[in-house]
Structure 1
Amino acid sequence: MDIEHKPLSTVTTVTIRPFHPADASQVLNIYFTGLVNGVDSAGHFAITRAFLHWTPMYLAYFLLISGGGILLLAVQQDIQILGLVIVLMSCGFMFLVYYRIRTTFLGYYQDGLRHDMTDISQYYRQDHEKDRNFIRHFWVAEIPSMTSESGYEVVGCVALDCSSKSDGPVIGELKRLFVLPAYRKHRIGTKLMRTLIAFAKEKKITLLHLETTNFQPVAREMYSRLGWYHASTTDSDFEAGGMRMSFVKYLLPL
């Protein structure tokens, strides 16, 4: 059963702890779900926008139904062929829209793999923290599981990546904050974020920043609710359902 669609269980105990190498496969599943196709992911938002809120798609639905009706009801073969052509063109249009959106977000997923998510233990190894300007850390949220061989299930994650190279204040980036859809509304994302913030304060980091998109309204609402403030918005070249995707930056002074 797909972990995203399993029945929501009562989450009684949530443990936030550092990442272990054995968590890698579960974390990559969370990352893929949270970015590409999970509920409230940017990829899911783009697909929903294109297929449910876009006038050209409504036209494609109309042509699909009309072409299907012609194909089924017409007596003359040439008219049946016309109906088939209309059906195929409508389906082709919908497939191309889906393929374009899917490919875009798979590209973002692959970018993460090339950057830090292929070998999380190596990228976020703790010996970096000997250098105050090179602090990196990765946490996971786990819950007890009766079905897992390990006895636990990883349901969320978050990362801190400090890339400041100056002698001034240390600035950190919050990254990879994801919670599986079936385990949301249990404040797991909040617990992950507060763990990261407490760690950042301990390391004398004075400012956190993060980047999300306007295709993730639920995430943006959470950031605003927890005290992050909007810093800037940059439009991208990608558009879905007549809506251009923007990269939105938030800041949190510590």
Structure 2
Amino acid sequence: MPRFIIRPYQDSDYDVARNLFACGIEEHSGEAFRHALRLPHIWLPLSFLFLFPALHLVSVTTSILAMTLAVAGLWFGARNLHTSYVRFSLSDDLMDIRKYYMERDGYSFWVAESGGELVGTVAALPSSQPGGEKHLEVKRLSVSRNHRGEGIGKALCRTVIDFAQKRGCEAVVLTTTEPQINACKMYEKMGFRHMQTFIPPAFKYKLLDFKVLAYQYDLPNHR
């Protein structure tokens, strides 16, 4: 028997649900930063800064300071990608979860509870992409770090799939980011197909090679 239950969102879940989402997103800042450091257009200029003293262009102290500032700027840039998304989400659909998800047709929000503690969240809404009226989108899927590996993420995702099936949808779709490797593996094991990888058009995303992955799960009666 699972040690958790999945249930509809209640108003008393508000603060914990928002915090779970925020923590789940922000923890990927480190991997995004490490990925950026491996990019040629990032490490080549940093290497050049390292060579400045040997080329007698600047002092060792100046070179170290320049490299430190560049790496710090890269770290804050990677972190800002995630914190800005969290701020937007908390002021958008997660500002009033009940009104946005629980009082609209085709929308819903669930939480996972274990031992009286809220340990996971997931939401569903009609996709904003073409064909959205027939596709349901997974949003705000997050599981507490201390409860990962217990099947909670899979159960939350399955809850959305069942919800979509009952509504006669053709598919369940979602987007995630490249640093979320474990989530991608889970989706693929569940039968989600990787449909597309893209980088948002803003310069900061291109600079950090911030990839977004789109997945789709075709419901059995529409395969």
TM-score range, shorter chain: 0.7 to 0.9
Give the counterpart letter for 1:87 in structure 2. I
**Aligned counterpart for 1:141 among listed residues 87, 109, 112:** 112
Task: For residues 220-249 of structure 1, give each alpha carbon's deviation from its aligned partner in whole angstroms, at most 9, with x where no partner exists.
Answer: 1111110111222222241466xx222221
Question: What's the counterpart of residue 245 of structure 1?
Answer: 210
Task: For residues 27-86 of structure 1, give each alpha carbon's deviation from its aligned partner in whole angstroms, at most 9, with x where no partner exists.
Answer: 12211121122xxx3x232023235x457559859978xx9xxxxxxxxxxxxx944333
Name which one, 1 or 2, has greater alpha-carbon Rg: 1
Task: For residues 182-231 of structure 1, give each alpha carbon's deviation from its aligned partner in whole angstroms, at most 9, with x where no partner exists.
Answer: 21111110111112212222222222111112232221111111011122
Does residue 1:93 correspond to 2:57, yes or no?
no
Give the counterpart letter for 1:216 in structure 2. Q
SS at the partner of 1:117? coil
SS at the partner of 1:139? strand
**Aligned counterpart for 2:102 among listed residues 109, 125, 129:** 125
| 1:124 and 1:137 in contact (8 A); partners too | yes
| 2:199 and 2:206 in contact (8 A); partners too | no
Give the counterpart letter for 2:4 in structure 1. V
| 2:30 and 2:79 in contact (8 A); partners too | no
SS at the partner of 2:135? strand
| 1:46 and 1:240 in contact (8 A); partners too | no
- In structure 2, the CA distance between the partners of 1:167 and 1:248, relative to structure 1 (3 Å rule), is closer
Q: Which moved more, 1:82-91 or 1:55-64?
A: 55-64
**Aligned counterpart for 2:36 among listed residues 23, 47, 50:** 50
> What TM-score, normalized to structure 1?
0.71
Q: Which runs of 5+ in 2 are unaligned?
A: none
Give the counterpart letter for 1:245 in structure 2. F
Note the C-alpha offset of 1:121. Answer: 1.2
Note the C-alpha offset of 1:162. Answer: 1.8
Note the C-alpha offset of 1:155. Answer: 1.3
Q: How many residue pairs are counted as aligned between the two chains?
A: 209
SS at the partner of 2:93? helix
Q: Matches of 1:193 and 1:173 in 2, distance apart? A: 10
Give the counterpart letter for 2:14 in structure 1. A
Question: What's the counterpart of residue 82 of structure 2?
Answer: 105
**Aligned counterpart for 1:197 among listed residues 123, 138, 161:** 161
Q: Matches of 2:101 and 2:34 in 1, distance apart? A: 34
Note the C-alpha offset of 1:95. Answer: 1.0
Give the counterpart letter for 1:186 in structure 2. E
| 1:136 and 1:162 in contact (8 A); partners too | yes
SS at the partner of 2:211? strand
* Percent of paired sites with the same residue: 28
Question: What's the counterpart of residue 6 of structure 2?
Answer: 16
Q: Which runs of 5+ in 1 are unaligned?
A: 1-10, 68-80, 130-134, 145-151
- In structure 2, the CA distance between the partners of 1:167 and 1:252, relative to structure 1 (3 Å rule), is closer
Question: What's the counterpart of residue 200 of structure 2?
Answer: 236
**Aligned counterpart for 2:25 among listed residues 35, 39, 49:** 35
**Aligned counterpart for 1:186 among listed residues 147, 150, 169:** 150
Give the counterpart letter for 1:26 in structure 2. V
**Aligned counterpart for 1:155 among listed residues 112, 119, 124:** 119
Q: Matches of 2:132 and 2:10 in 1, distance apart? A: 32
Q: Matches of 2:81 and 2:131 in 1, distance apart? A: 38
> What TM-score, normalized to structure 2?
0.80
Give the counterpart letter for 2:6 in structure 1. I
